[in-house]
């Protein structure tokens, strides 16, 4: 219910109806399910201006969802903040009628928050499309767009979209951070050399060549930030590929294509994945050479703030940041544990990059669900510019189901507000409340 909807993990009651005339497989694919919920509670939220106070809101979130098997889902809803107490009364003129917080609805992009999810197709299918908030979106292996969030700016609530398709030996992925504005667009083309050169399934998915490009127009309503473009070529090769374990060598090079002269970067490393019935663990380690205007993971988890201030709260924007030329080390680990509905489930990921000149960037995300599915904890910590000009984003949420259709929630964290002069104002938010849901 706060400014971090990517932490909102709904624990709705699962109720299904049987269709006796269809076989089980057809029933699973064609069953239509409806869900509805309403969350209410008080929310403390900062004014978002330098030296501003802490305002009090009544927050309400109505949600409607429909699913058709595993190939279609549509979810509509939004968090509505009604101001109850304004520490700066002269600013209440900025609210809409009924004191609905104006900054949540003052650009066309903010209408995107009404679309919480549109999903068509299956992730393991030939074509897959998803629109809504982007939480930890990674393009390919993440060397341009890595763990990106489009919800990190407190007054900006866009809907993004990602489409993935397989066409013979090619895999195509395209993404937009905001479907209602000229913002970040990215795409990757991946070629499976084994599928191109042979019909032997034993050599499929072992050797790939990739090309990626990303461009941010930097336009949201009246807001403007500097455009930024980058491109990359690379590939991977399987060192070992078994049913339970895979190990790949990876490498590539990239550059900012909107700068002259061009600053290039290169990387080499390893990626691995191990799987069992209840465990899925993967990771990668890389050595990188980069600097000047280009770095890998340019559009990273903190990008929506970095485009105003690359690090800290009042530094130069990312488009103008120039790093010392040198080496860095990057590591990422992802873990999925559990899976049965009544068992313990943990989903965690962590990434960190250390630059030789002393800077550290990190991102840690965690979702923890106790057996039975009644208690769920989520948290996210993003830190950039450690040891230079640090900036932190901290978010946490707890959800506890009390009855089959009644639960309580509590959330807290930091929020950031871009200012017209390009700086950021950081504040603190906290809320708690109850929710009721219904499904059939």
Output the CA torsion sign for 420, 158, 258, 148.
positive
pLDDT band of 353, cuts 50, 70, 90: very high
* Distance from C-alpha of 107 to C-alpha of 102, rounded to nearest angstrom: 10
Helix (H, G, I), strand (E, B) or coil at 27: helix
Residue 15 pLDDT exceeds 80: no
The token pair at 384 is: 């950039």
Six token digits for residue 393: 């984003």
Q: How far is the C-alpha of 272 from the C-alpha of 381, rounded, in Å?
A: 24
- For CA atoms 294, 298, 304, 309, the dihedral sign is negative
Continuous segment of H or E residues that includes residue 68: strand 54-68
Instruction: Categorize the per-residue pLDDT at 1 as very low, low, confident or very high, splitting at 50, 70 and 90.
Output: low
Residues 214-249: tens digit of each pLDDT: 999 999 988 899 999 999 999 999 999 999 999 999
CA nearest 250: which of 240, 237, 241, 232? 237
Q: Does residue 18 carry a pLDDT above 80?
A: no
Q: Give the separation between CA 245 and CA 251, rounded to whole angstroms.
A: 20
User: Rounded distance, CA 282 to CA 333, Å?
Assistant: 6
In this prediction, residues 125-152 reach a mean pLDDT of 96
**In this predicted structure, which of 30-34, 116-120, 262-266, 417-421 has the lowest mean pLDDT?**
30-34
Token reading at 202: 């034993």
DSSP 3-state of 126: coil
Count of C-beta atoms within a 10 Å radius of residue 235: 17
What whole-number distance in Å separates Cα of residue 46 and Cα of residue 381?
Answer: 20
> CA-CA distance, 274 to 283, in Å (whole number)?
9
What phi and psi, each to the nearest 5 degrees, are found at residue 90?
Answer: -65, -15
| Token output for 370 | 């106790």
Element (H, E) at 26: helix 24-30
DSSP 150-206: S--BTT----EEEEEEEETTEEEEEEES-TTSS-EEEEEEEEEHHHHH-S-GGGTTS
State the Cα–Cα distance between residues 377 and 369, nearest whole angstrom.
6
Q: Quick one: tokens of 354?
A: 């250390």
Structure confidence at residue 195 (pLDDT): 94
How many Cβ atoms are within 10 Å of 420's Cβ, its own excluded? Answer: 7
| Strand pairing category for 219-220 and 207-216 | unpaired
SS3 87: coil
Structural element, H or E, at residue 24: helix 24-30
Q: What percent of the chain has pLDDT over 90?
A: 81
pLDDT level of residue 7 (50, 70, 90 thresholds):
very low
217, HSE (Cβ side, Cα atoms, 13 Å) = 14
DSSP state of 227: -
> What's the N-to-C CA distance of the chain in angstroms?
24
Stated length of the chain = 440
pLDDT of 98 reads: 60
For residue 255, give the 3-state DSSP assignment: strand
């Amino acid at each position: 219910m706060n400014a971090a909807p990517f932490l909102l993990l709904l624990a709705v009651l699962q109720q299904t109806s049987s269709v006796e005339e269809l076989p089980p497989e057809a029933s699973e694919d064609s069953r239509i399910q409806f869900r509805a919920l309403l969350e209410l509670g008080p929310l403390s939220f900062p004014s978002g201006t330098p030296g501003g106070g802490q305002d009090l809101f009544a927050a309400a979130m109505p949600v409607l969802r429909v699913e058709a098997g595993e190939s279609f889902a549509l979810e509509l809803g939004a968090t509505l903040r009604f101001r109850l107490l304004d520490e700066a009364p002269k600013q209440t003129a900025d609210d809409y009628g009924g004191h609905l917080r104006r900054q949540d609805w003052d650009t066309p992009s903010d209408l995107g928050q009404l679309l919480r999810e549109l999903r068509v197709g299956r992730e393991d299918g030939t074509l897959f499309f998803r629109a809504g908030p982007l939480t930890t979106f990674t393009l390919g292996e993440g060397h341009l767009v890595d763990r990106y969030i489009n919800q990190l700016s407190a007054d900006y609530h866009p809907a993004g979209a990602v489409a993935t398709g397989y066409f013979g030996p090619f895999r195509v992925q395209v993404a937009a951070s905001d479907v209602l504005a000229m913002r970040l667009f990215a795409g990757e083309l991946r070629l499976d050399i084994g599928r191109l050169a042979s019909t032997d399934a034993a050599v499929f998915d072992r050797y790939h060549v990739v090309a990626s490009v990303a461009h941010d127009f930097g336009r949201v309503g009246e807001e403007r930030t500097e455009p930024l473009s980058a491109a990359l070529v690379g590939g991977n090769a399987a060192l070992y590929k078994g049913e339970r374990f895979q190990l790949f060598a990876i490498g590539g090079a990239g550059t900012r294509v909107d700068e002259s002269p061009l600053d290039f970067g290169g990387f080499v490393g390893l990626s691995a994945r191990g799987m069992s019935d209840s465990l899925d663990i993967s990771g990668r380690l890389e050595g990188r050479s980069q600097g000047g205007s280009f770095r890998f993971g340019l559009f990273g988890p903190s990008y929506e703030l970095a485009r105003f201030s690359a690090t800290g709260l009042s530094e130069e924007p990312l488009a103008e940041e120039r790093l010392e030329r040198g080496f860095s080390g990057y590591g990422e680990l992802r873990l999925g544990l559990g899976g049965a509905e009544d068992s313990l489930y943990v989903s965690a990921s962590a990434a960190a990059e250390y630059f030789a000149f002393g800077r550290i960037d990190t991102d840690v995300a965690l979702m923890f669900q106790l057996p039975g599915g009644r208690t769920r904890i989520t948290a996210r910590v993003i830190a950039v510019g450690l040891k230079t000009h640090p900036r932190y984003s901290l978010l946490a949420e707890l959800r506890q189901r009390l009855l089959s259709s009644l639960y309580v929630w509590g959330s807290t964290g930091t929020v950031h507000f871009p200012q017209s002069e390009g700086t950021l104002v950081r504040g603190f938010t906290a809320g708690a409340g109850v929710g009721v849901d219904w499904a059939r």
